[in-house]
Structure formats: structure tokens, C-alpha cells
Amino acid sequence: MWFLLQSALAAPSIPFEKFELENGLDVILAPDSSIPFVQVNVWYHVGSRNEVAGRTGFAHLFEHLMFQGSANAPGEYFAPLQKIGAQINGTTNIDRTNYFEGIPSHQLPLALFMESDRMGFLLPALDETKLLNQKDVVRNERRQSYENRPYGMAWPWLLESVYPDGHPYHTATIGRHQDIEAATLEDVKAFFQTWYLPNNASLVVSGDFEPRVVRPLVKEWFGDLPRGPAPPKQEFKVAKLKKDVMVRKESDVPFEKVWIAWHTPAVLRPGDAELDLISRVLSDGKDSRLYRRLVRELQIAQDVEAYQTSSYLQSMFIIESTAQPGHTAAELVTAIDDVLADMRKNPATAAELAVARTSFEVAFFDNIATIAGKANLLNNYNFLTGDPGYLEADLARYQLASPGNVRAAFKKYLGRPRVVLEIVPAKAGAQ
């Protein structure tokens, strides 16, 4: 069984070639002729961790500004691509920003032109009107997705509690109202000129194309963009809790809910894969340890989930659970602690880990089953390691996570101190 799993996981690969333009742009070409479709995927190596105090939310703000048109492609970025049926979007997180278009193969030159123009010529088209408009859009998004959504502030409150003031992960990617409102045109232009550079970006083209045809196209559209100064290196201290942190918030929510968080190692570091497997043993499926105890046996929880949030500098392991009516967050914490105590005495078995690996394998293969998934994974590996072909090594982390390794990671990271965040219904009449 172990051998078969290893063989199955070691087999896949994503054929690609990588080269670097003179201006420092990493280019990764991954041909796949299964369907007449191409994915263009650009990663800028900038996220909210690269912002400075008093100017939070800039990376996410640029996710919006990058769709407002550039010097040689004025108007909404979506317009010419939507006419050809493209799938277009962008995302921002703590560590990086990405933009992507899925297009019919013969429309690849249009997508390359559009991406190159906003990389090189966004600022001439950026004015006060666009900035003011998108500042309002972002602030409204914060209200809708965080402040006015039940439990929506859990993530900002967690980050503020787990990472101290001054740590790059202290503030949520959405940013703070006052910082977004205070942003000037000069501020955002300076941020763009620091981070949105060919030498701080990587481009993946994945899908139905001939590399010999696309290689000169990429050089044509991106090769003349000027290299910028090397982005500043980030200095930070790994956050460590000195004692338990208890946070209790009243909010407009129907049930009590709890999040328990621990500091854990950065993505790809020793312990990261083991903690991912532990999360699956704890909460993946109705026979998992937390679900069985809290939901099925005690019936004090509506749901429970454990997960390793793998990030570039350091990570968090989180357990969250929503109480049943009439039950409290404190009851959930007690029950969760009982399960964790039992797991210290009775570590994850080989059978449980086999199920966890299978769960990981299913999710992993689902991700690389699409051309879009392959493109993003190649860019992710390139960002993390400099090697787009890190797939086999990534899989090996899970293959080599023996019961002993998993037990050691559990003991090292999932003890005390930790952060406990409880969000409970506001008392009648409370503001």
C-alpha cells in the first residue's frame, strides 16, 4: 500500500521550460494541447506583508487599479478580453498578487499585450479619479466581506492577535479604512514603481501553443519593459507567543464560535506537510477525531475544521468551530483540548495517515487537472523555490511524513501558548 501510494504520487509532472528576459522577468512555458485553450498567469512578488505602517491595503488596492486600463489599452481591462470569452481575474494575499486570463488559443497575443501594457504602462493612465473610485470600492469591499458579514472580522482579529504590531502579517490584506482613505496618488505610484517590475514578476503561459511561436511573442511584448531597482529585502523577526492570548469579541452573529491558533513553520519548511496531514486527521470527514467528538458524540458543535495556513515567512495552524444553539465557545475549547490531549497519548495511526495522504492526493490532482491549475502551481513553485518543477519534491514531503515525523510535529507546535479567539452574539441593546 505504501509503495503503491509513493509510485502514484511520484509519477505526475508538468512539462515546462523556463527562461529569463534581460529585464529580469521569469518566463515559464508549459504546453498542453489537450484543449484549444491557453492560460496566462502573472505573479508579482508583493503582498500585504510588503506594506508599511500607515499605508496598509496597497497590494489589494492595486489588484483593483490594474483593471482600470493602461496607456495603450485605455478603458476597463475586462472589455476587450470579455468579447472573446476570456476568464479573467486576480487575487491578492499576504505574500503575492496574481493576475490571470483563460483564453482561446488563437487569442494569446491579445492577452500578452494586455498583461505587458499594464506591467509597463499603468501609471501614465492612472489619475485621481480612478484612484478615488477604487479606494471607495475597496473600502466597501471591507464593509461587505468583513465588517458587515457574520464572523467576517475573525481573520483580521486573528492576525492582530497572533502576530505582533510591526510583524509583516499583523494586518489583513484588505487593509485599514484610514490607510486606504489617506493614500495619495504619489503614494500608490511609488508603491507600483517599487514592486510591479519585470524583475519582481513571473509569467506562465500554459496550454495549447507552440513554444517556438510563443517565445518570440513574449520577448516582443515584455522584453522592452525596463528593469527596475531590486525590491527591498524584508527584515522581520519570527513571531513567538510568550503566553496564551484570549480574545473575546461581541458581534452581530447567531451562534458562539471559536478559533484556536498556533505559530507553525513557513510553507515547505520541516513540519509544514506534517501539520497539513494532522489537520486532515483531526477534521477531514465525519470519522475524523474532532468531528466525531464535537459534532457526533457531544453534539455541541455544528461544524469543526482544522487547517495549516502555509505562508512564506511563517504559518498558523487553526482549529475553528461553531457552537450548537445553547452551547458556548468555552465548551468547544474544552472539547477540542480533550481531543488534542488524547492525540498526544494516542498519536495519528498509520491507517489515519494513509487516509490523510489520500485526501491530500485527491485535492492535489484536482488542482493540476486543469490548465489554469497547472499554470498557477508552476508560478507558485517558482515564487517559493525558484524552480517551477518542484512538484515531485512537494509530493515527497507528504510521502516521507512518517508517523514519527507527524507525532514530533504535533508535539512541537500544537501545545501552549496559543491564541483563542471567541466571537459571541452581542448582548441585547449593545452597540
> If you ran DSSP here, which 8-state letter would residue 149 be given?
S
What's the whole-number mean pLDDT along residues 11-19? Answer: 89
Tens-digit pLDDT profile for residues 362-387: 999 998 999 999 999 999 999 999 99
The reported pTM is 0.94
Residue 322: phi and psi, rounded to 5, are -105, 130
Identify whether residues 190 and 270 lie together within a single domain.
no
Q: Are 134 and 64 spatial neighbours (Cβ–Cβ below 8 Å)?
A: yes
Distance CA 5, CA 23 (A): 43
Residue 406: phi and psi, rounded to 5, are -65, -45
Among candidate residues 198, 174, 208, 182, the one with its CA nearest the CA of residue 26: 198
The residue segments making up the domain with residue 187 are 16-222
Strands (E), 151-242: 201-207
Q: Residue 8's pLDDT band (boundaries 50, 70, 90)?
A: very low
Where a domain ends, among 190, 222, 254?
A: 222
Asked if residue 166 has pLDDT above 60, the reply is yes
Burial of 57 (0-12, 13-18, 19+ CB in 10 A): buried
Identify whether residues 388 and 335 lie together within a single domain.
yes
The verdict on residue 237 lying in a domain is no
Q: For the sheet containing 257-264, what is the strand order?
A: 245-251, 419-425, 257-264, 315-323, 301-309
Vertex 75: Cα angle to 72 and 77 (nearest 5): 85
pLDDT at 214: 98
pLDDT at 12: 76
Distance CA 347, CA 397 (A): 19
DSSP string, 94-125: SS-EEEEEEEEGGGHHHHHHHHHHHHHHSGGG
Residue 288: phi and psi, rounded to 5, are -70, 160
How many alpha carbons lie under 13 Å from residue 30 in its C-beta half-sphere?
26
Asked if residue 430 has pLDDT above 80, the reply is no
Identify whether residues 332 and 375 lie together within a single domain.
yes
The verdict on residue 405 lying in a domain is yes
pLDDT at 9: 47
Asked if residue 3 has pLDDT above 80, the reply is no
What's the whole-number mean pLDDT along residues 262-288? Answer: 97
Identify whether residues 409 and 261 lie together within a single domain.
yes
Asked if residue 313 has pLDDT above 90, the reply is yes
CA pseudo-torsion sign 416, 419, 425, 427: positive
Distance CA 395, CA 367 (A): 13
Say what percent of the chain tops pLDDT 70: 97
Asked if residue 36 has pLDDT above 80, the reply is yes
Identify whether residues 204 and 257 lie together within a single domain.
no
Distance CA 330, CA 256 (A): 9
The verdict on residue 102 lying in a domain is yes
Q: Are 114 and 101 spatial neighbours (Cβ–Cβ below 8 Å)?
A: yes
> If you ran DSSP here, which 8-state letter would residue 147 be given?
I
Identify whether residues 151 and 262 lie together within a single domain.
no
The verdict on residue 66 lying in a domain is yes
The verdict on residue 232 lying in a domain is no
pLDDT at 428: 63
The number of distinct structural domains making up the chain is 2
Q: Are 304 and 283 spatial neighbours (Cβ–Cβ below 8 Å)?
A: yes
Beta bridge partners of 246: 420
Identify whether residues 250 and 175 lie together within a single domain.
no
Asked if residue 1 has pLDDT above 80, the reply is no
Does residue 347 have a cis peptide bond before it, meaning omega lies within 30 degrees of 0?
A: no
The verdict on residue 230 lying in a domain is no
Identify whether residues 259 and 401 lie together within a single domain.
yes
The verdict on residue 8 lying in a domain is no
Average pLDDT, the chain: 95
Tens-digit pLDDT profile for residues 60-118: 999 999 999 999 999 999 999 999 999 999 999 999 999 999 999 999 999 999 999 99
The verdict on residue 231 lying in a domain is no
Identify whether residues 297 and 151 lie together within a single domain.
no
Distance CA 268, CA 310 (A): 8
Distance CA 22, CA 25 (A): 7
Q: For the sheet containing 87-92, what is the strand order?
A: 17-20, 26-31, 201-207, 37-44, 97-104, 87-92
Q: Which residues contact 216 (CB under 8 A, 6 or more apart)?
A: none
Among candidate residues 285, 322, 283, the one with its CA nearest the CA of residue 302: 322
- Cell numbers 457552537: residue: 323
What's the whole-number mean pLDDT along residues 51-56? Answer: 94
Identify whether residues 161 and 296 lie together within a single domain.
no
Tens-digit pLDDT profile for residues 218-227: 999 999 999 9
Identify whether residues 95 and 215 lie together within a single domain.
yes
pLDDT at 427: 85
Domain CATH number, residue 140: 3.30.830.10
pLDDT at 289: 98
Identify whether residues 201 and 257 lie together within a single domain.
no
Q: Are 59 and 238 spatial neighbours (Cβ–Cβ below 8 Å)?
A: no
Say what percent of the chain tops pLDDT 90: 94
Which stretch of DSSP H or E encloses residue 62?
A: helix 58-65
Q: Residue 11's pLDDT band (boundaries 50, 70, 90)?
A: low
What's the whole-number mean pLDDT along residues 274-278? Answer: 98
Q: Are 273 and 315 spatial neighbours (Cβ–Cβ below 8 Å)?
A: no
Among candidate residues 62, 57, 67, the one with its CA nearest the CA of residue 97: 62
69-83, 256-270, 295-309 — which is least confidently predicted? 69-83
